[in-house]
Copies of this chain bind each other. A is one copy, B any other.
Amino acid sequence: MKTLILATDNQDKVHEIREILKDLPIAVLSKAQAGMSYIEVVEDAQTLEGNAEIKARSIKEKAPEAIVLADDTGLYVDALDGAPGVHTARYAGENCSYQDNRRKLLNALKDLPLEERSARFVTCIVIIDEMGILHLAEGVCEGMISEEERGERGFGFDPVFIPKDYDKTFAEMDGQIKNSISHRARALDALLELLERMCK
């Protein structure tokens, strides 16, 4: 069985990606499980794509024969001119918690009516295959920012993001439903056929 190394130690992402890829005959390892937690990267690109590539290449350099997958995700809020965007993970500052981020966001949108709270999650996924070819796909999930936190599931901004055509936040939804419509699922979906071929 082949091995796919995820260029992350974010347990929430690892869990979600594993869940989405669970039917593929490939062993999915986190950065730590691959013994690569020592690799530190500066995610200083101006785009999600650039940051995903920086993370993927940092692992590929040390494991040239592995298949590597990196993800970078941003939340783009229209009323904030697209912020937090590429800075989503550290919106409330370096080493801030998910909750710090959510509080800052709800505060920035305080008193805005629902129709002005439109936003989208965007995920860029980069896979570098065994031959060194890089593959990149993007997944988008449109929605809006809720007026308060709701739900306990998911992670990050999930408790304040209501996907389009739904009335629950991602954090209130069953994981299976979230994983069928989310930005991350859509990006991975686009790459699934490629990944299937790589498993052979």
Q: Is A133 part of the binding interface, using a Cβ–Cβ cutoff of 8 Å?
A: yes
Q: Are B131 and A134 in contact (CB under 8 A)?
A: no
Give the number of copies in the complex. Answer: 2
Q: Are B136 and A133 in contact (CB under 8 A)?
A: yes
Q: Are A135 and B137 in contact (CB under 8 A)?
A: no
Task: Count A interface residues, CB 8 Å.
Answer: 11
- A interface, CB within 8 angstroms of B: 131-138, 190-191, 194
Question: Cβ of A134: which chain B residues have Cβ within 8 Å of it?
Answer: 134-137
Q: How near does chain B come to A52, taking the closest CB pair, in angstroms?
A: 11
Question: With the chains together, A31 CA to B123 CA distance in Å?
Answer: 30
Residue of B nearest to A131 (CB): B190
Question: With the chains together, A138 CA to B191 CA distance in Å?
Answer: 20
Question: With the chains together, A131 CA to B136 CA distance in Å?
Answer: 11
